[in-house]
Structure formats: structure tokens, C-alpha cells
Structure 1
Amino acid sequence: MLTVAELLTDQALGLELVAGTPAADREIEAAAVSELSHPGPWLQGGELLLTIGLLLPDTVEGCRSYLAELHEAGVRAVGLGLGAELPHQCAPQRLVAAADAVGMPLLTVPDGVPFIAVTKAVFAYRARAERRALERTLETQRALTAAAVSPGGLMGILNAHRDATGRDGVIVDQLGRVLAQTDPAGASLVERMAGPLTSIRDHGLSGAAVDISEGRRREVHALGAQRLRAWLLIDGPAEMPAAEQITGDLVSLLSLELERRHGLDSAQRRERAQVLDRLARGTVDDAVAARWLASLGLKDTDQRAAAISAPDDAEDLAADLLSTLRDALVRVVGSVVEVAVPLATDLPGALATLAPDRSAGIGIGVRPGAVAVSLRQARSALPASRVQGRHLRAEEIASSRMLLNAVGTEPLAAFTDAVLGPLDANDRATDLLRGLTAFLEHNGHWAAAASALRVHRHTMRNRIETVERLTGRRMDSAQDRHELWLALRARDITALSADPAK
């Protein structure tokens, strides 16, 4: 943009700055001529206002008011035309003093230089600047295009953009992992933009954010064609010609590169699906499983599996999982996507990002040859995940409470009454039930159970013998002990169901 100081260097105009020197770096966007005493309402701001001072006030205070009004209207500088046949042959001292007071650059236009010459010079400079910006934009576009058709991939495109614009770029996947970056300190940019990125995650491909501060412009843009593939973070000077157009080109080329990579992954996906098919048939020797993994370039390490419900877009979700979890085995079985990843991978975290609103079951970690076991657990957890509306791990459903909850309140109450009813009818019911609970919880150790209840061990023996007599169940029978324990657990569950406040 043209500044007052730059305009003064045009020797053909012979302009002279006589006041407001500290503001000589003001940018001039246009030039206008006015002899009105109050021209502000007819101006848009950013102008060099040219005048011969026909109605210039006669006092310093009047000139100050005149210039203050121009400043309020956004005028960047005032040019006073001088001439033998004009009102002024030099800049009046009252106007100079007022310009210094207001901080308004005051230029004098010498006799013989028409205002149209100054106006043309301003717009010619602006046209040249716009042409240079367009040329730089075209050069940048050509550089980005050349990088896109070269083998450099994402990194090549980012490097071409940085070389042309001086702006660094970082690409992160949906889990926040860096895929490519031009700045070794790119992690700090990811951390700085974590807030804006979080705020636009749910907007998908339409997500974008800009942070302008400290003379820097930092941006976040979604990458991908039909589905979100990654995020682009850009950091550079706040002022840059055609920044939005160049950034748009960059986003398009990076999106094309990601889609190209996604297309190449389809063959790899088929190979990995075939290996997962073999592992899902049943447990195999770990050495065999290791060879299958090695054939895909994957390490021989413990695995964890998940099953995700995707009735509408299973293939797309499978592609997202494979492109994000680079060590994953993925396959589609009907409307369910199955995935197995190394145990070190944060699979629950990945699913929370890639499939937050879908039902999903997650199996336990297993040796490579036992992936079928983890998959079976994951599929078994799917129904409970649909009911509870969240992702469920196998460990969460591997409990008696989960099993008993699935039975229903009435059958549980009937079972409890049948097993524990004889104790309920006894006048020592409370002591007998407490004794039975302590005995079972301490695995049949008389002394430990008695100590927990703070009673003598003979008292404990007496209570358990009474329980055996009333219920007809023997404590030396594993089945009888298990039925009594289930009845106590079922009673807890039915009590909670009867009182939701608990």
C-alpha cells in the first residue's frame, strides 16, 4: 500500500511535507479533491484530500477543528495546492501549527502541478501494487501446482508455500498427530491453536478459524474432499497480499493429495482386511500371526480389537480408521466395522474422535494369534453399547452386575426370594444375612469374617450353620455358595432399582 513518505519520493510531483512528519507512514488508498468546509460526510476514509484552501479558517483553532474533522472521517493526509493565482503561495502557519497538533500529514503541491497529476500518481501506484500482488499470487500458484505434481507429497506442497510466502504450515490428522510440517517448532503452533481447533471440530469440512495477534496471522482449515481427512495450521505475518486466495489454493492442493493417498490406501485396505479375516476365524499360533503381520510391514505386538456400528457408511468409516491408525487391521462385516490395533495405540481415544456418536465395543489386549478372542468380546459389547449410548470395553460388561441387570427386576426378585426367603422369615434375619455376606466376601475364612463383623468365630460358625439349615445349601458346595452369592448381589440390584435416588 502507498504511504505518504513513498508518495513524496515521486520527483515529478515535487510534493513537500511541511507538517505531521511523525505520521508519514500512513497508507493512502485513494485521492480526492474538495473545497467544502465540512467534506467528511462525502469521504470513505483512506484518502489524500487535495484542496487549494479556498474556505480555510482564519484561526489556528478553526484549522485544528477542520483537520480534526478530516481525521475523524479517516483522511490520511492533506495536500494544499499552491500557486500565484491561488489563495495560498505557501502553507499558512496557522494550518501548519494545526496539522502538527492534530498529527495530520500536510503536503504542499507546487504551482504548475495539477491535482489530477497527484490523483493519477496515487491510483497508478495502487494499480502497480495490485499487479505485483497478482503476479506474486500467480507465481505462488504455479509453485504450489508444480509441488503438487512432484513426488514430495504433503511436505513438498508445504515447503513450496513457505518458500513463496514465508508462512509455515503444519498438517495434523484427526487425532492431532503431525503428518507434515515446515517448522521444527510446529508442535507449539498446534498447542497454540488447540482452542480454535477444538471449537470448529464439529463443523467438518466447513470448519475454519483465524487468530490475528502480535503481528501474526494464524489459521486453521479443514482438509478433504467429501470427508474430513486432516487439519491445516498456518502461521505467518499478519499482512500478506492475496493471502486468502493463496490459502484457498493451498487447501485445495493439500486436500487433493490427501484424497490421492486415500485412493492408494484402498489396495492396502484389502490386504489388511484379508489378514484380519484369517485372524478372526479362531486362535492361531503366534508365529503364524507374526508372519501375516510382517507381510503387511506391521510389527509383531499384542493387539486390541473393536467393533463399531456403521449402518450407513461402513466403508467410509473403515477408510478413515485405516488412514488415521496407520498400524491398524480393518474390515467391514455387514454394517459393522472391525479394527485391530497394537495395544500401545489409544484405541478408545481414537474412537472418541472418529466415531463419537456410534455404538462401539472394545475387546481386551491379546497376543497376535488370539485377535479372534478380542474381536468376539468387542462384538459382544455392541448391544450393551447401544443401550447405554457410549463406547463399552469388555472389562465393563464382564461383571455379575451387568449380567444381572440384563435379567430384569421381577425375575431377580423371584430368584432372591426363593434363595434367601427362609432367612428373611427368621427372627435373626439381619444377623444371618450379615454373617453370610461376610463369610462369602472373605472366601470362607471364619476368622477373617468374624473379625470383619467383630464377633467371636464360634458365633460366626453358628450363624453359617443356621444359614445352611434354613436354606438347604452347603458351604462346602461351590454351586451352593455361588447361588447364595448371586442372590445377595441380585438383592442389591433390586434395592437400587426400587430406589432410583441411590
Structure 2
Amino acid sequence: MELDKGTFTVTKLAKAKDLGLRLVHGGTGVERAVGIPFAIERWGPIPELHGGELVFTSGRHLGEDWTEWKVLLEGAKAAGAAGVIIGLGSGAAFETLPAELLRLAGANDLPVLTADYAEMGRIAHTVTGLHSESQRDAYRRPLELQMEITAIVARGGSFGDLLDGWQQRTQEPVAVFDRLGRVMARSSAFPSSLLTPLGKRLASHEAPRLGEHFNLSATTLEAAPDMASAETGERVEIYPFAGNDTVRGYCVRIPTGQETAELAAPALRSLLALEFERLWFLDESARRKRAERFARLLTLTEPGSARTFLRSLGIEGGPLRGVAIEARNETHAEVLIDDLAVVLAAPFIRHRHRIVECLATVDPRQALADYGLDVPTGIGTRGAPEHSARSIRQATLALETSRRAGTPIEYVDGASHEFLINAAPSDYLEAFSSAALAPIENSRGGEALLRTLHTWLLERRSIEATAERMGVHRHTVRNRMQRIVQITGHDLDGIDAQTELWLAFKARGFRDGETSPKGP
């Protein structure tokens, strides 16, 4: 029988000469996919169908009861039937199709075919076989496509070869971006005007995460006069693909809606993930070299030797800043050392298990915020290359505090108390500051006493400097300080008392240069 695979529709069945079917009414459903035959030769409602079935009937149980014929046709359409085949001739209700049945078919917009009633069994058997073959073919084609694109990779093909192979077999343009939105490869027909807007989208926080995918229009991407075509449908699909549980990159397809391509697309993403893993291992020597250089620089504490070492690598001897990050797992750490080498312009970077350490040549705070890092992070102070080891130690200390605070922590020289405050629970800080400051605060003129004490500590316990800063007479400051001693019972000349009060002010929200607590 001459019937193309993958085109099993009412129209094709009617044109198949060997079947002996005649299409008497087509309507809008003639190009629907056709399922298995389903015979109805009794009264009652149409059973629930799965969609696409061909309803066979001789009509003997209905005769010329047009009301029941109307119920049958309406019920078949409502149940999802692709069409109705009415048997004619000896043994059937009619020798020829009545005009009233043709009218009812038109009123229901349901494809109706006729056949010789004596041939109905053979036709049903043939249609069932065609449907089974079509189903097998529907699954076979994606499998063959998967095998063909896998062979491209097995033969050593590049990303570009894989994407071009996909496009040739599916007519779908496709491109691959890395985690930072940089184009890795694209098939020949992928619109170049989409690359920049897609890269910006993927580099932002709007990129899809694992388990998600985006369907975007060209209008959404603010691009693409060359994308507005019937072939592309003016849409792109963005899927992340992963190595273990971490995004490695993004596959961007311009879908055609072919079932074969949709079923084989997960295999394409898996192959891309495997290729990314392979490239990662190929770059392992470069990562090892960066780690060795990192360790070497930490041992160079003399300005001359550190700068000479940097010049030997073709790097200007500018300031560096230590960064320590606790990745979610070792796979995430491996991803970070690749990404941060770009994001932080970090030629010196390594990871030890989950901890990633690097020396950044740019300000890491904004760069890490733009990257969207959401794990504990410590940042050391900015300094000359010979002070790299010191900055890394500071970053490590800040990382310990970041774990407790749940936010990136930046080390500040001479401000270790900030780490203590960030690490302590808020209820503890409130209780601590209240215990130290509440007696002063609740006394007569308590607010002025607190501001005076805080300014006195800021001005290194100078009565004159405190008075000048507050704009009051020095005797006023001296009297207030004497009252504070009486209220608290503290010897304010002692370092322990000064430290306790200073930490209490910090916990309360007072900051250097301020004479009142920082508001929310």
C-alpha cells in the first residue's frame, strides 16, 4: 500500500487505493492523525475514546432514525474520533449514503468516509496494522536520530559538528552558550542577531535553572529581523544542561515542532553535557598550573620577588584581593574555578575540596553580586602582590563569619569586632547591648549620656575632642562621664570596660563617625 510513513491521516487513508475508502465529507479534521478502528453497532452513548480513533458502523441499529444518527455523529466528535466510516451495501442499513447523513456530517464538521460493508473487516485489520507501524516508526525515528548525533561525538566531532548535524536532520537551528552567556558554538542557520541578546539574558539572573526551560519570542529578546520567518516560528527554547547537579551550559533551539526532534532533544542536551565534561578534563592541566602559581605567589613576601614573578607571567604587578568561597559541593567548586577565572579576572585560583580560593584583580563585591553567587564568601583587603598571603588569610577568616551570617563578609583592617557581631545571634546581641547600655539609657538624660560616651570612645577618650565634636563645653562632657561611671560602676580607664561598651555600641547599631545608632 502506498502510504507515507508519518503521514497517517484521514486524507491519506482516503487516497490509498487498496483500502477502498471514499471521503464523502472532509471538514477541518481531515489532516488529523488517525488512530485505531473502533466499531459501534448498538444503541447508547459513545464510549470514552483516547482520541483519533476511526469509528466503524453499519448503521443497522439506527436505520433511518436521523435523530439517533445525529447523536452518534455528535458523540463521536465529542469523544475525539478522527472520523466515521459507514459501511454500505448488503448487510448494512443503506445501499448508498442518504443525503440526510451527508447533511448531518457537514453540520458536525466531522470527516465521514464510506466503504463496502463486506470489506469492513479487512479495512479495519489494515488500518490497525498501519497504525501500529506508524507508532513503531514514531519511536524508531528519534532513536535513529539519537544514534546518528551520538556517532558524530564518538568520531571526535566538535560542538559545531554536533549542532550542524542536528540542524541537518531536524531543520532546527541550535546554539550552545556557556554558564556566563558566552557563545560556544552555533549551527549555520542560527541567527547571528540573537547571539548578543541571548548572551545577556543567560549572563543575568533571569537564566533558567536546572529543571526549568524558557520559551521566548524574538520580541522579548529585542532582536531578530532575520528570525521572523515561518520556519522559526519566531520562538526560541532555552534549556540548561548539567554535569552532576550543576549547570554547565545552555542549549538554545529554534523549534520546528517535529515530534522526532522533541523526543530526541534530551539526548542532544546529554551529549552537550558530556562534551563539556570532556573539555573540563582536557583543561585540567591549565587549572593545575593556576593552582601552582597561586601557591608560589603566597610564598613571595618581598616586593621585588613578587613583582618579578608576576612579570614572568606577563601580568602587571597591580593590587590583588583574596577571596575565599565555600562551594555547595566539589563539582560546584570545579565549576567556580572556571567561572571566577573570568568573572574576577583571577589568574591565581585553586580549590581544595569545597573551598575555592583566588586572588582577584578586580573589585570582587560587584562582580560576585552580578554573577549571582549565593554561598558563603569571604573577601580580604586589597593589597600589593607581596601581601597576597595576608589577604587570603583575611578572606578565610571572613568566610568563617559568612557561614554564620548567611551573607558575604568583607574583612576590614582593625575591625575584627564586626566579625564577632555578624557571627552572633541577633537575640544574644540585643541582650548583650541592653545589659551594658540600658542602665545609662534609662537614666535621666540617658540619650545625651549615650551619645557622649560613644563620642568619647571615638575620640580616644579625649574630653576636649569630644566637647568640640559635640559642640558642648568640656565641663559638660566631664560631668556626663562622671555620671556614667556612677551609673555603671565601671572604671572607664580600664581596657576591659572600654571594649565591652564599644562592642555594645556596635551591637546596638552605632557606627564610626556617627553619634546615634544606625536606623533600619
Aligned partner of 2:167 in structure 1 is 162
Give the superposition deviation at 1:394: 1.7
1:278-297 to structure 2, matched below 5 A, reads: 278-283=296-301, 284-285=303-304, 287-294=307-314
Give the superposition deviation at 1:230: 1.3
Structure 1 210/10 Cα, relative in aligned 2: closer, same or farther at 3 Å? farther
Is this contact kept in 2: 1:341–1:347, CA < 8 A?
no
Is this contact kept in 1: 2:467–2:477, CA < 8 A?
no
Give the superposition deviation at 1:159: 2.9
Structure 1 94/365 Cα, relative in aligned 2: closer, same or farther at 3 Å? farther
Bigger Cα displacement from structure 2, 31-40 vs 259-268? 31-40
Give the match's secondary structure for 1:41. Answer: coil
Give the superposition deviation at 1:488: 6.2
Give the superposition deviation at 1:77: 0.4
Give the superposition deviation at 1:16: 2.6
Is this contact kept in 2: 1:217–1:238, CA < 8 A?
no
Aligned partner of 2:225 in structure 1 is none
Aligned partner of 1:50 in structure 2 is 56
Give the match's secondary structure for 2:287. Answer: helix
Bigger Cα displacement from structure 2, 2-11 vs 107-116? 107-116
Structure 1 44/299 Cα, relative in aligned 2: closer, same or farther at 3 Å? farther
Is this contact kept in 1: 2:32–2:52, CA < 8 A?
no
Alignment-mate amino acid for residue 240 of structure 1: Q
Give the superposition deviation at 1:276: 0.3
Structure 1 29/470 Cα, relative in aligned 2: closer, same or farther at 3 Å? closer
Aligned partner of 2:505 in structure 1 is 492
1:111-260 to structure 2, matched below 5 A, reads: 113-117=119-123, 119-121=125-127, 123-124=129-130, 127=133, 130-131=136-137, 134-135=140-141, 137-139=143-145, 141-147=147-153, 149-152=155-158, 154-174=159-179, 178-182=183-187, 183=190, 184=192, 185-186=194-195, 191=201, 198=208, 200-201=209-210, 207=211, 209=213, 218=237, 220-224=239-243, 226-237=244-255, 239-243=257-261, 245-260=263-278
**2:288 is equivalent to residue 273 of structure 1:** no
**2:336 is equivalent to residue 348 of structure 1:** no
TM-score (norm 2): 0.70
Question: What RMSD, in angstroms, separates the aligned Cα atoms of the two structures?
Answer: 4.9
Give the match's secondary structure for 2:259. Answer: coil
**Deviation by residue 1:235-254 (Cα, 9 ceiling, x = unmatched):** 34363233454223213321
Aligned partner of 1:323 in structure 2 is 338
Return the alpha-carbon distance in structure 2 between the equivalents of residues 127 and 397 of structure 1: 78
Kindly indicate which of the two structures has a greater share of residues assigned to helix: 1
Give the superposition deviation at 1:24: 1.8
Give the superposition deviation at 1:307: 1.8
Is this contact kept in 1: 2:381–2:413, CA < 8 A?
no
**2:386 is equivalent to residue 362 of structure 1:** no
Return the alpha-carbon distance in structure 1 between the equivalents of residues 507 and 146 of structure 2: 71
Give the superposition deviation at 1:94: 1.9
Question: Structure 2: 5+ residue runs without aligned partners?
Answer: 1-6, 218-232, 486-492, 511-516
Give the superposition deviation at 1:82: 2.2
Alignment-mate amino acid for residue 89 of structure 1: E
Is this contact kept in 2: 1:79–1:108, CA < 8 A?
yes
Q: Identity of paired residues, percent?
A: 24
Alignment-mate amino acid for residue 291 of structure 1: R
**2:342 is equivalent to residue 338 of structure 1:** no
Bigger Cα displacement from structure 2, 124-133 vs 279-288? 124-133
**Deviation by residue 1:310-336 (Cα, 9 ceiling, x = unmatched):** 7x955x454222233344432345874
TM-score (norm 1): 0.73
Q: How many residues align?
A: 464
Is this contact kept in 1: 2:37–2:127, CA < 8 A?
no
